[in-house]
């Protein structure tokens, strides 16, 4: 039995900021925005840096400098220079607070910073930054697109961390705003739809997810050359909808198209490409193409470890998946090493009660049982069972599968207890 996990990395739309100041400065900023939309990241960086050079000559305003800080942070983030990006976002926020700038400027910078913190695994700080942005956005009109985007950011975070009720509440609030005339007039509307589609996908609401993602792709097509990052991420998310809904043949071409965009524009070590390779590998696993799946997972681990560090949750998710294949192949030592590290990372990120953690703990228990380390295996089976028993959602079949494996381990020494657990497991499996 292979219990795989999906990446937490997904679609994000980074907010660029602009203003009409001097004609030369405004033209450079506009060219930079256009270059980002077209995926010409090095060109965008040159335009934004040239605009910043103009600010060295007076009279430069604090707002101009904050705009430059935000936009150069976007370039750093897209280029994988995360520490520089965080520094620039914080500097932009310092300037916003000093001059009391508009709510949309502050909320945009905070949204960008939060996305970066979450990608790096700083969940608690990222959540606090998003909540602060949402509070600031109360100054905006109720139907402002930035409010809708912040709601989906928080919804995805809550879905990833097992806070399903909160995630559903934020989904309902966001969906209402996305249908507003204000949102539909926004240039960011297809990217906003993509983010909503990602949130539906995290909650496994595949019908609404497919609808909004296909709508986003149609809008991109009507507008001509799309924002390449949002377009590729929309393709990738729709592919994941099809894969999770049992249609890998529809997912694969979308994954390939998205991967080509990522690699062509952002290079072979782009973070989202690493996450996408992990998703592609799961289709290979389902097709029993284990050798191909392992190579994709190893490459994905190398990309994400290099960009985000070896203790990042998405590295751990890939280690769980690769460890599961090694376990299936009987390479128990290699499997145990990967799974033990994955469990330690996921415990920190997801917390003790998340069903994603339960998958990884169960995989480790399976390896330990096959190694003859019954006490460790029993401990991890019980941990996984406890998580599933406390969890929300339709997890009865998963709980039944874990209990059945646990019963088999108990057969050797505690036959009566094993029979009782086996009967309950079979009842759960039959009822689901």
Range name among 11-25, 97-111, 394-408 with the lowest pLDDT average: 11-25
**Token pair 């925005």 in the structure block, residue:** 33
Architecture in CATH for domain 1-13+21-140: Alpha Horseshoe (1.25)
Q: Among the residues of 120-247, which ranges form H helices?
A: 123-136, 145-160, 164-178, 181-185, 189-202, 206-222, 228-244
Q: Is 80 exceeded by the pLDDT of residue 101?
A: no
Helical H segments across 351-414, by residue range: 355-370, 374-390, 396-410
Model confidence pLDDT, tens digit, residues 378-409: 999 999 999 888 875 445 668 888 888 888 98
At the top level of CATH, which class does the domain 147-267 belong to? mainly alpha
Q: Which pLDDT does position 295 carry in this prediction?
A: 96
Statement: residue 139 has pLDDT above 80: yes
Domain spans of the chain, in order of start: 1-13+21-140, 147-267, 310-432
Give the E-state strand segments of 219-305 in sequence order: none
Residue 240, phi-psi category: left (phi > 0), alpha (psi -120 to 50), beta (remainder): alpha
For 428, the 3-state DSSP assignment is helix
pLDDT at 65: 79
Do 280 and 255 contact (CB within 8 A), yes or no?
yes
Express each pLDDT in 114-125 by its tens digit. Answer: 888 887 778 889
Calculate ∠ Cα 157-160-166, nearest 5°.
60
The dihedral sign for the CA sequence 395, 398, 402, 403:
positive
Is the predicted pLDDT of residue 367 greater than 60, yes or no? yes
Q: How confident is the model at residue 319 (pLDDT cuts 50, 70, 90)?
A: very high
Per cent of the chain over pLDDT 70 is 90
Quote the pLDDT of residue 58: 54
For range 161-167, the mean pLDDT: 87
Closest to 10 measured CA to CA, from 206, 263, 226, 274: 274
Burial of 266: CB neighbours in 10 Å, binned 0-12, 13-18, 19+: buried
How far is Cα 278 from Cα 294, in angstroms, rounded to an integer? 9
The answer to whether domain 310-432 has CATH 2.60.40.10 is: no
User: How many whole angstroms separate alpha carbon 86 and alpha carbon 77?
Assistant: 8
Q: What is the pLDDT of residue 11?
A: 39
pTM of the model: 0.80
């Amino acid at each position: 039995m292979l219990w795989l996990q999906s990446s937490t990395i997904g679609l994000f739309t980074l907010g660029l900021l602009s203003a009409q100041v001097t004609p030369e400065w405004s033209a450079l900023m506009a060219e930079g925005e256009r270059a980002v939309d077209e995926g010409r990241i090095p060109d965008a960086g040159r335009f934004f840096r040239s605009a910043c050079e103009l600010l060295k000559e007076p009279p430069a305003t604090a707002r101009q400098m904050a705009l430059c800080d935000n936009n150069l942070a976007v370039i750093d983030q897209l280029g994988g220079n995360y520490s520089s990006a965080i520094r620039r976002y914080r500097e932009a926020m310092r300037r916003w607070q000093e001059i009391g700038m508009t709510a949309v400027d502050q909320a945009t910078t905070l949204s960008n910073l939060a996305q970066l913190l979450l990608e790096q695994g700083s969940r608690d700080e990222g959540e606090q930054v998003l909540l602060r942005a949402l509070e600031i956005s109360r100054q905006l009109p109720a139907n402002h697109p930035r409010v809708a985007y912040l709601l989906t950011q928080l919804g995805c975070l809550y879905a990833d961390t097992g806070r399903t009720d909160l995630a559903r509440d934020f989904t309902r609030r966001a969906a209402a705003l996305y249908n507003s005339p204000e949102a539909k007039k926004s240039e960011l509307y297809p990217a906003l739809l993509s983010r909503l589609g990602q949130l539906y996908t995290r909650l496994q609401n595949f019908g609404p997810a497919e609808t909004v993602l296909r709508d986003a792709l149609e809008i991109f097509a009507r507008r001509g050359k799309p924002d390449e990052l949002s377009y590729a991420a929309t393709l990738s998310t729709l592919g994941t909808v099809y894969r999770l809904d049992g249609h890998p043949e529809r997912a694969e071409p979308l994954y390939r198209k998205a991967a080509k965009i990522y690699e062509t524009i952002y290079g072979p070590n782009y973070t989202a490409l690493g996450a996408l390779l992990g998703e592609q590998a799961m289709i290979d696993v389902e097709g029993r193409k284990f050798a191909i799946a392992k190579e994709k997972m190893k490459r994905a681990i190398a990309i994400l470890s290099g960009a985000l560090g070896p203790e990042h949750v998405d590295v751990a998710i890939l280690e769980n998946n690769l460890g599961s294949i090694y376990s299936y192949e009987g390479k128990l030592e290699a499997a145990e090493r990967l799974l033990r590290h994955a469990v330690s990372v996921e415990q920190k990120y997801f917390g003790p009660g998340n069903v994603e953690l339960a998958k990884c703990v169960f995989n480790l228990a399976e390896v330990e049982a096959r190694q003859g380390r019954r006490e460790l295996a029993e401990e991890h089976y019980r941990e996984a069972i406890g998580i599933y028993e406390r969890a929300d959602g339709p997890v009865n079949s998963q709980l039944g599968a874990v209990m059945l494996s646990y019963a088999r381990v108990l057969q050797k020494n505690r036959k009566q207890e094993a029979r009782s657990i086996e009967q309950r497991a079979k009842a759960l499996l039959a009822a689901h």
